[in-house]
Amino acid sequence: MHRSPGADKQIFGTFQVNVFGDTVDDPWARGYLTRRQNKRIERIFPLHDFRDEVFGNPQGDGWSWSRSAELLKRHGFTAVKFDTSKFVPADANQATSCDFDDVEVLEDIYFPQVKQALVKLTGAKEIFITNSIVRRGETGASIDGCTKTTGDRSNFQHVQDTAVTNGENKTEEANYKALHDNKPTHLKSSDNARPSRVPHMDYTPLGARCAIRSWRPDIYHAAVKSGVIPTEDAICASAQVDPQTHDSDAVINSEYNYGGKLGPRYAAYSVWRPLHTVTRDPLAMAPRCTFNGNQELTFAPRYLKVLAAPSMKGDFLRELEALFITEENAMKAANENANTDRATPGANGEVEQLPSSSLASSDPQWYYLAEQKPNEVIVLKFFDSAALVDDGQHSEEASSVPHASPDIGKASYGSARESIEVRCIAFW
C-alpha cells in the first residue's frame, strides 16, 4: 500500500508493546474479556493515512464496494461507507456512545446494516454477530446527555461492573451467564471499555476453530452445514490429532486449502464505526507481512475466557495473539530513547525527529483514516480460512491483521473518541 500523496508532515502514534516476563497466569481465573496484565514499553511508529487508497480522494468520489473488497483481500483491512441517517439523534456527527446502548436500536437498525455490508463486501452467505462493544476514550468519563447506568447488558443475567483503576480492569462476575442461545452479547458504554494501545489479533486459527465449536449453537450448526467442521475433523482424524489443540495447526494449514483449492470458507471480522469524527485515539492497522523483517518484535499467544451459550458445553478459551518484545530488547530500546534528543510534536502532531529505534526500515507499516467520519466504517479481519497455507508459503488472501489505537499526542484534539465495534463470524 502506498502513502497518501502530499503528506509532507507525518503523524506518529505511540503504541504499547508487552514485555516477555515470568508472570504466571491462569486465564480461567480472569474475568470475561479481561486480558493478562504484562509489563509494557512504549514504541513509536509513523501512521499513514489510507483514505485515498480506499476512497479514491479526500471527497470519497472514487469509492466502490469492489475497491474496498480488494483492499480487504490484500491487506486484511478496508473501509466502507454506511448510511447514518437512520440513527438517533438525526445529526449522526453528534451521536454519543449512549445512543448505541439501546439493544433494540442495534438489533432493528444497526446489526442488519452490518450484515448487509459484510455480504456485499465478502460474498459470504451467512453472517453471525457474536458480540458488540461501545468504547469511549480516556477523556470520556463525563458525557453530556448520557445517563449513567450500572452497566447491565442484553443477554446477560447479572450485571458485570467493570471499573478502570490505574489502567487495570477489575471485574465482578457473580452469576454471570448468557440468557439466550443465539443472541450476541453487548458491552455498553457504562462499562468503560477503553481503546487498546497494545497491537493484537483477536483470533488465531486455533482460536477460530474453538470459537465455531464452542460459542453458540447457531454458529456451530452453520459450521457443520457449510462443511467447515466436517472438513477439519476429517483432516485431523487422518493425522490423529484434536482440531481444538495446537497439534492440529500444521496439518490443517497444509491440507485445508490443498493444491490451491479452497476448503469450506469461514472468517471472523470486526466492523468498527466511530460515533463522531475521530480526532484522537484512531484505530490503526498494520498488514501482518510488514512485521516479517523486524527482529525485536514478535507475536505470542494469549487467552481470553469467553462466555458460551447456555446449551453449549460451558465457557471456553479463545486464543489470540499480542505483540511482545524481549526484556533485553526493551531495555535496549529504552536506553536508545533516553540517549536520543526527541523533538516535541508541534501543534498538529508532526515531529521532525524520532529515536532511531523507532524508525527502522524493518518496522511495521501502520495505517489509519485521518479524521474518520461516522459514515466511514473500518472492516478488519480477525481470521480467514482462505489464508491458511503451510509455514513459509504466501497466501494471496490476507488473514488476521494486527491493530490497536495509538496515542497521537499533540495531534489529538476535540472530545473523547467514541465508537461501536461489532464482531462477526461469516460462512460461505
- How many CB atoms sit inside 10 A of residue 348's CB? 10
Beta strands 11-19; 316-325: pairing state:
parallel
Q: Which of 116, 113, 117, 121 is nearest to 72 (CA)?
A: 121
CB 39, CB 331: distance < 8 Å: no
Q: Could you tell me the maximum CA-CA distance found in the chain, to the nearest angstrom?
A: 62
CA 351 vs. chain centroid, Å, equals 28
The pLDDT, as a whole number, for residue 152 is 34
Task: Please list the residues that pair with 246 across neighbouring strands.
Answer: none
Q: Which alpha helices (H) appear in 131-227, and where do they start and end?
A: 205-214, 217-225
Q: How many contiguous H segments (helices) and E segments (strands) does the chain have?
A: 9, 16
pTM metric for this prediction:
0.85
Amino acid at site 176: Y
- Helices 217-225, 228-239: axis angle to 10 degrees equals 70
Low-confidence ranges of the chain (pLDDT < 50): 2-7, 90-92, 140-176, 340-359
Q: Which of 230, 238, 277, 266 is nearest to 254 (CA)?
A: 238
- In this structure, what DSSP letter does residue 415 have? S
Cis peptide, bond prior to residue 205, ω within 30 of zero: no
The pLDDT, as a whole number, for residue 36 is 76
The pLDDT, as a whole number, for residue 38 is 80
Task: Please list the residues that pair with 419 across neighbouring strands.
Answer: 135, 274
